[in-house]
Amino acid sequence: MSEPGAHTDLGAYVLGMLEPPERESFDRHLAGCAQCQAELGELQAAARLLRSAPKAVDPPADLRARTLAAVQSAAVGPEPAAASPRTIRRRRWPSLALGGAVAVAAATAALFLGIRLGGDVGPSGELELQATLASAAGDATAFAEVVKLGIGREIDFRSDDLPILPKGEFYELWFAALEDRPSEPNRISAGTFHPDENGRSRVTLTAAVDPALYPTLVVSAEPGDGDPAPSGEDVLRSAPAE
């Protein structure tokens, strides 16, 4: 069940402004909220523009404050004068679930907060797939976004609760065909990764794969024995993309 007001954390989530407990709570909400998953794609497109931007230069001292004030005004109107610093931080992105004009304003603010004065922004790519992955027991989840860049794909992968594996072992992300089975795997690797000491994973991977042919995302635990074939120990799986 979604927590009250969870939708309003989406903008802060995209910009990495949530505290770890808040991010974990929102990840759980995101796994079951189709509306937030759709909104996430719009705002992460702005984040991809920021990643491709040239080196930032110093902006005017008051630009950040003016930009945030404009977004707040467009989204919810005037703020109470006595709002605490904590309240102001959380209200920077107060109602992104409303979509439309507010989502556009939030994306614009994200570009201003990156502050790039001059230069061209590189291509952001085409958002091709968003997927929520879950374990069979439901005790671990992850979210992935697949962007088409030329003939390849870039995958942004996030998870907050993957167990730490024994030394020498690692997790591997796969694109799997519909007929993929542990006993008869039909999948393409997108790369390997390790969570941090808190079980959090924030990785960007690349793969030469067509999600239309391999529509399911799978995370497996691999033994690090030098064998590139999947171990069959799948820990997370998404529903096939439609």
Condensed to tens digits (0 to 9), the pLDDT of residues 6-61 reads 667 777 777 767 777 777 788 788 778 878 877 777 776 666 665 555 555 556 66
| Residue 40: partners with Cβ closer than 8 Å, 6 or more residues away | 10, 13, 14, 30, 130, 143, 145
C-beta separation of 102 from 96 below 8 A: yes
Question: Cα–Cα distance between 85 and 76 in angstroms, integer?
Answer: 17
Q: Is the dihedral of CA 184, 191, 135, 10 positive or negative?
A: negative
> What ranges do the domains of the chain cover?
6-114, 126-238
Tens digits of per-residue pLDDT, 98-138?
A: 454 455 455 555 444 443 444 444 446 899 999 999 998 88
Q: Sorting pLDDT into bands at 50, 70 and 90, what band is 228?
A: confident
- Mean pLDDT over 68-94 rounds to 54
pLDDT, position 176: 96
C-beta separation of 234 from 220 below 8 A: yes
> Any idea which fold 126-238 has?
Immunoglobulin-like (2.60.40)
Q: Sorting pLDDT into bands at 50, 70 and 90, what band is 73?
A: low
For the chain, the residue count is: 242
pLDDT, position 91: 43
Question: Cα–Cα distance between 218 and 227 in angstroms, integer?
Answer: 18
pLDDT, position 90: 44
Tens digits of per-residue pLDDT, 166-193?
A: 999 999 999 999 999 878 899 999 999 9
β-partners of residue 221 are 171
pLDDT, position 8: 76
β-partners of residue 187 are 176
β-partners of residue 201 are 159
pLDDT, position 150: 82
pLDDT, position 124: 66
Q: By C-alpha distance, which of 34, 41, 43 is closest to 103?
A: 43
| Residue 164: partners with Cβ closer than 8 Å, 6 or more residues away | 195, 197, 199
